Structure 1
Amino acid sequence: MSDREQIKPTAHELMEMHVEALFTHDRNMRLRTINEPWPGEPPAPRFFLGRTIEGSALCRFRYDVPETLARLLEELCADEPNVKDFQTKPKHFEAYMNLLQSERFTMGPCYLIPDATVPTMEVVSVTRENMTELLRGSFEWLISEIDYAQPCIALVREGRAVSICRSVRITSRAHEAGLETLDEFRGRGYAAEVVAGWAMAVRQIEGIPLYSTLCDNFSSQSVARKSGLSYYGVNFTIT
């Protein structure tokens, strides 16, 4: 049994893994870019706040946010209460938006995929060797990313992938899931199966499988609920 299996991370530790997977950081822990595994470096948001179910909050700022502004934001973050309902905006939402002079934000729940989560249907790994056959029809756009977004797990029907879960943010400690299911195959439980298969594959390479989504993505939240994922907090960003 590995150390990662013996010691379950706290909600705060999971939130740290989450933000480190989402964004690249400089030596001062300032945000630089979105941490996509494939080529390209879109800029990170100016502000990240992670509120946890334990009552702790974690905040990060992009490298170009002035130090005085960052300190003001940090003081407000320290006053954030624990979060239960992921639809609840931060306590200091208006202040964050005003200080950063922005009207654009994102927010959504964050989950850990438990060790006990395993697929009950057959799923397969999508690699360079089998991608042409499995991704034909609707997932051809994944071909250019296949070497980067690993593990990549699919549920196959009639010889082609109809639901896929792959690593879309990767660090040495954790992977974040990216989930896609063809419209005509939704509502059959396939998404939960590939999420479970992907989590197994991530654990096999000593990674921690994380899953996050947005507050208005009800289908993704449904997958998390049906899969029994472990909710640990809410992320909030301002661009």
Structure 2
Amino acid sequence: MQRQARTLYRIDRAGRLRLIPDLTAAESEWEPAPRFFLGRTAQGNVWHFRHDLPRQVTVELDALCRSEPPLQVGQEPGIARQIREVLGAGEEYRGPAYLLPWQTDTGQAVAISPDTAHLLLPAFPGTARRALAGHGGPVTAVIENGQAVAVCSSVRQSGPASPGGAAEAGVFTLEQSRGQGYAAQVTALWANLVRAQGRLPLYSTSWENTASQAVAHRLNGQWFGEDWSIK
């Protein structure tokens, strides 16, 4: 979960949240991190606060987080109401986080290189630019009639290509091509290529997005915890 947190967010040496390191955008366009993050697992919890929160607030939040027991499946954090009272209104995100294993079936998915980045056009211009520049790799796709209809790439990434690094999957399938298993295929190949880099392939989604959860289940994703954040 600590690797998950440091993949989702730029965290300073004091353990405070700074930015969302979005590989789909220039660093100058990265958004501020949420004010609060709690990663829950059955073994214990991880929490971080944004760097600009007043000390009195962080002390109160820290005490609440220390009182939260390990993850109970299907239950909202017991401290949720108190955390909301301390922080006030803010957009929330809560959902499962998975570690993807090596995949044996990648279907029709292919790896995209700078030489084949044009296959991502016209549907995925941003991903095509990143693939052409060699950023956010690996990039995988399912191609139909010479054009990509589903893609997967690293939207966030932490650390060098080493056992300490990880990458977060970003998956999109064109509406007319959904329901054919393409999201699972491009994610499967992406996961293998990320592991070949020496990084861990992470996949997270919201509890409301059952279609995205189905992709993780199809790939035998190891559910290791839950992310909860408040902007």
Q: TM-score, normalised by structure 2?
A: 0.90
User: What is the match of residue 180 of structure 1?
Assistant: 172
Letter in 2 for 1:197: L
User: What is the match of residue 119 of structure 1?
Assistant: 105
The list of structure 1 runs, each at least 4 consecutive aligned residues, that deviate by more than 6 angstroms after superposition, is none
Q: Which runs of 5+ in 2 are unaligned?
A: 160-164
Counterpart Cα distance in 2 of 1:103 and 1:45 = 9
Deviation larger for 228-237 or 71-80:
71-80
Give the drift of 1:139: 1.6
Q: 1:77 aligns with which of 41, 44, 65?
A: 65
Aligned ranges 1:18-167 → 2 under 5 Å:
18-37=4-23, 38-39=25-26, 40-54=29-43, 56-86=44-74, 88-115=75-102, 117-132=103-118, 134-146=119-131, 147-167=134-154
User: What is the match of residue 207 of structure 1?
Assistant: 199
1:160-219 deviations in whole A, cap 9, x for unaligned?
211111100011210000000111111111111111100100011100000001122121
Counterpart Cα distance in 2 of 1:64 and 1:74 = 15
User: What is the match of residue 9 of structure 1?
Assistant: none
Q: 2:229 aligns with which of 228, 233, 237?
A: 237
Residues 51, 80 of structure 1: 8 Å contact kept:
no
Residues 126, 153 of structure 1: 8 Å contact kept:
yes
Give the drift of 1:79: 2.1
Aligned ranges 1:9-24 → 2 under 5 Å:
15-24=1-10
Give the drift of 1:222: 1.3
Secondary structure at the residue paired with 2:113? coil
User: What is the match of residue 3 of structure 1?
Assistant: none
Counterpart Cα distance in 1 of 2:170 and 2:80 = 28
Counterpart Cα distance in 2 of 1:118 and 1:42 = 36
Q: How many residues align?
A: 221
Residues 53, 83 of structure 1: 8 Å contact kept:
yes
Aligned ranges 1:211-230 → 2 under 5 Å:
211-230=203-222
Residues 117, 129 of structure 2: 8 Å contact kept:
no
Letter in 2 for 1:93: A
Secondary structure at the residue paired with 1:125? strand
Secondary structure at the residue paired with 1:75? helix
Secondary structure at the residue paired with 2:114? coil
Give the drift of 1:159: 1.8
**RMSD in angstroms over aligned alpha carbons?**
1.5
Counterpart Cα distance in 2 of 1:148 and 1:164 = 14
Task: Provide closer, same or farther for how the CA distance between residues 21 and 95 of structure 1 changes in structure 2, counting only shifts above 3 A.
Answer: same
Counterpart Cα distance in 2 of 1:215 and 1:187 = 20
Q: 1:190 aligns with which of 175, 179, 182?
A: 182
**Identity over aligned pairs, percent:** 35
Q: Which runs of 5+ in 1 are unaligned?
A: 1-14
Secondary structure at the residue paired with 1:129? helix
